[in-house]
Structures are given as C-alpha cells and as structure tokens.
Chain A
Amino acid sequence: MTLTLHGVDHTARPTWKLAETIHFYRDILGLPLVHAVTAKGWGREDEQHADFIHFFFDSGNESSIAFFCYIGTRQPENLKPPRGYMAMGNHTAWRVESESDLLAWQEKLEAQGVKVSQFITHEIIESIYFRDPNGYPLEITRPLRDMGALDATDAAHTIEAALALEATGKWTSIEQLWRKKAERIQQHQAA
C-alpha cells in the first residue's frame, strides 16, 4: 500500500503577541480567522501545560496557518526567532498564481508598513519575503513552471553527491559539490 499525503492542512507556531498577530494575519494579510480552540492546560508527569488558545487563519486551498497562545506564560529565549539568513530557512511560503498577484501582495504589504524584500527570481519560482510581528519569516511565491521528471533526476544526483561529500567530513564548498556531481552526470550520460 502506498501512503500519500494530500498537501498542507496547517502549520502552527506559538505566539506571545496575540493582538499584533491577529491584526497582521486577519487585518493586514486579510486571512479569514476560521477556527479557534480554547482549552484548559493539562499536566503531564514531567511538564505543566498552560491554558491556551489555538487559532487558525485560512491560507487558501484548504490550508491554514495556526498559532498557540499559552496564557500567562513568557516567551522562552530559545523560542525567539533568531535574526539573520540562517533563521530565514525556517519559513512558510504561500502560493499565488500570477506575477500581477505577487506584485499586488507586495504593494498591499508595503502600503501597510510591512518591510518586504526585493522581488527575487529563482529557478522555478519568484518570491517576496517578509516577517510577521513575531519575527517568523514568510514568503509569497508564484511558480514559473511545473516541476518535471528531469528536476527529480537532477535533485537525486545533487543529493547523492552531497551525501557522499558529507560522509567525508571534509566538505566545505559548493564548488566541491558541483565537481562531485559532474562525476555522477558523466556516468549518467555514459550509462
């Protein structure tokens, strides 16, 4: 039996800025608030659990972005989103269907005082980037083309080359990866 996933239902993260979060997602982004759970916190043997609200905004295509508000708690230092590009690697990217939609989102966000990155064209998508009031990185993107079988083949070659280099403990650069991958592609073409 092949198990299949059917897209994103929701992603969730904690917030200690309830009012700002509601304002940003509901009023600035305009995502409908569609569900809210409220619950008495429960205790486990090794952990007390705060009372909480778990609320959801509709982000389209039957997906949502959700938050937990743990009542009466303070944000632990290790849950503060770090600054810098490495922390941007942890982000949510929403899809829009056209360049004009993407530009319209950029204008809408900037008009509301949200700092938005430059429009960036990547291999198969183009995107804008920004952060929510909690500091969580967000992206809005549009596909430039569909992914094909060749993309998957190429991805497999990239990852196999990377795994081989990682296993040496000496891997330090993308140039090393590109050279290792070339060895694989040469064999791939000869096969």
Chain B
Amino acid sequence: MAGFYVLDVPEFRPLLEAARRHPACQVHPLAAGYTFVEFATAIEITRAATGLPPALWFGCLTAGLDGKITEFTEETLRLAPTNEPILP
C-alpha cells in the first residue's frame, strides 16, 4: 500500500487539503498523530496546489514515504509505488 504520511500540525494541513482534492489520493483517517495519504498509481502534486512556501514544500514528506520519488522540483512532486529496497 503506497502513500505518504502527514503529521497533524498546522503547517502541513495545506498538503493534506491538496491530497483530499487530488483524484488519485485516498486520505485515511487520522491515527496516532499521522494521516496516511494512499496512492495506487503514480501521482503528481504541485506546490501551487498546496500553497506551501519552498522551505516547507521541500520537507513535505518528512512524516514518511511508502513509495519512491520520481521527480521533486520547486514546483512539482511526482511519487510512485515501489518494491525497490530502501538502500542499494
């Protein structure tokens, strides 16, 4: 089950709101301080959709990622499911 976690703090709520509006994201209920945002296929999230300032945007996966990053620029984040090991 691929996805990413969002810590339940005000500064990351815009990310969660963007995930709720995203057609390919399924937002799970809040549990133990974290919300899991599930994706079954590759997804793209834009910084514009989140409204996050750059410093926060570049830390937006800080609560954890079950998947892989295929692109991460100042404006675009692309994620995909993966079975690759974490370390080479």
The reply to whether B64 and A150 contact each other, CB–CB distance below 8 Å, is no
Q: Whole-angstrom distance between the alpha carbons of A170 and B31 in the complex?
A: 32
Q: Which of B8, B36, B62, B67 has the most CB of A within 10 A?
A: B62
The reply to whether B68 and A175 contact each other, CB–CB distance below 8 Å, is yes
A182 at the interface (CB under 8 A from B): yes
The reply to whether B34 and A189 contact each other, CB–CB distance below 8 Å, is yes
- Flag B8-30 by CB within 8 Å of A: 1 or 0 each: 11110000000000000000000
The reply to whether A185 and B34 contact each other, CB–CB distance below 8 Å, is yes
**Which residues from B are CB-within-8-Å of A186?**
64, 66
Quick one: which of A171, A179, A189 contacts B65, CB cutoff 8 A? A179
**Which residues from B are CB-within-8-Å of A121?**
53, 55-56
Task: Tell me which residues from 143 to 191 in chain A have a Cβ below 8 Å from any Cβ of chain B.
Answer: 144-145, 148, 150-151, 153-154, 157-158, 165, 168, 170-171, 175-176, 178-186, 188-189, 191
Task: Tell me which residues from 56 to 79 in chain B have a Cβ below 8 Å from any Cβ of chain A.
Answer: 56, 59, 61-69
Quick one: which of A153, A171, A178 contacts B87, CB cutoff 8 A? A171
A86 at the interface (CB under 8 A from B): no
Q: How large is the interface on A (under 10, 10 to 19, 20 to 34, 35 or more residues)?
A: 20 to 34
Q: Whole-angstrom distance between the alpha carbons of A185 and B66 in the complex?
A: 10
- Nearest CB to that of A182 among chain B residues? B64
The count of residues in chain B whose C-beta lies closer than 8 Å to any C-beta of chain A is 28
- Nearest CB to that of B8 among chain A residues? A150
Q: Which of B4, B10, B64, B87 has the most CB of A within 10 A?
A: B64
The reply to whether B31 and A189 contact each other, CB–CB distance below 8 Å, is yes
**Which residues from B are CB-within-8-Å of A168?**
87
The reply to whether A188 and B62 contact each other, CB–CB distance below 8 Å, is no
A123/B61 contact (C-beta < 8 A), A165-B87, A175-B69, A182-B5 known: no
Quick one: which of A151, A170, A189 contacts B32, CB cutoff 8 A? A189
The reply to whether A182 and B65 contact each other, CB–CB distance below 8 Å, is yes
A3 at the interface (CB under 8 A from B): no
The reply to whether B55 and A151 contact each other, CB–CB distance below 8 Å, is no
Q: Whole-angstrom distance between the alpha carbons of A191 and B31 in the complex?
A: 10
List 8 contacting pairs A-B, 8 Å CB cutoff, sorted by A.
A122-B55, A123-B55, A153-B33, A165-B86, A165-B87, A184-B64, A185-B5, A186-B66
